[in-house]
Amino acid sequence: SFRSRRGLPEKRKIRDVKKVVAVSSAKGGVGKSTVAVNLALSFARRGIRTGILDTDIFGPSIPTLLNLSGEPRLDENNCLVPLTNYGLKSMSMGYLLPQTQADSETGEVPMDTTPISWRGLMVTKAMHQLLHSVSWGPLDVLVLDLPPGTGDVQLTINQEIIIDGSVIVTTPQDIALRDAVRGFGMFQRMEVPVLGMVRNMAYFACPNCGHQTRIFSHGEGHGSNCEDHGVVAECKRLGVDFLGDIPLDAQVCEDADRGMPTVVAEESVERSARRQAFLSVA
């Protein structure tokens, strides 16, 4: 039986997966998916058997990031077979739900005519399938790309599967950091260990002269007191590891848009600082 004494469904371990690491952000747009996919690819590049599960219902981005699309096949046990690129297995809401895509010529987004109630049911069913019915095969690490926020969806996912650790992605801005602290509180309540925080868009690396500018400064990167405020200080206060900085870099965005994340795109570039940034976080 999957019922615990309190009547809640009992958490399950994902079959054939050793560790589940959730990548989260309290807010959208801080680069959570970009970081998640580059971390997963960094693991894969080290020979760690890795998969990535995209549970973002309203903005699944893993299909674009990995240049993958199409409906997954079902195996003989009725489990979804992951789609693979760059040696990374993936499963996404984006493969399961009909997505409303902009017309490539006019740019117009067609109206989603699916009735709301039906869509709700599809989402619930799809989420259940994503969490419990994917044939990952043996994996060392499954990176879970959580939807942004600290609400019900995150709680539900945590009630259904065992999450071994979490990584919080933030930007150096004060508001983003405050949200990140809220994210830390959520994982504490869920009793999921926080492995650390990643500071994305930490500085702007000028493509011409290489000069680094801390755009979202706010106490970080200002002379001697640079680590008195902000993400690093907050990590110290919370007793959480600071995992590293990722630069704000147009190439990171371009790589993401064309479906070849930086860790793969710059594999043969000997001294790619942006690629190294992702690798060292992993």
Binding site for ligand ADP (CB under 6 A): 25, 28-34, 61, 148, 200-201, 246, 248-249, 252-253, 256
Compute the CA torsion angle 45, 51, 188, 242 (nearest 10 deg).
20
Output the smallest distance, CB 75 to ligand ADP, in A.
29
Which DSSP helix (H) or strand (E) runs through 132?
helix 116-132
Are 82 and 51 in contact by the 8 Å Cβ rule? The answer is yes
CA–CA separation, 18 vs 225, rounded Å?
41
Output the smallest distance, CB 277 to ligand ADP, in A.
8
Rg (C-alpha) for the chain, rounded Å, is 19
Nearest to ligand ADP of 126, 248 (CB atom): 248
Output the smallest distance, CB 210 to ligand ADP, in A.
16
Nearest to ligand ADP of 74, 269 (CB atom): 269
Nearest to ligand ADP of 115, 207 (CB atom): 207
Are 243 and 197 in contact by the 8 Å Cβ rule? The answer is yes
Residue number, nearest CB to ligand ADP? 31
Are 180 and 89 in contact by the 8 Å Cβ rule? The answer is no
Nearest to ligand ADP of 135, 277 (CB atom): 277
Output the smallest distance, CB 100 to ligand ADP, in A.
18
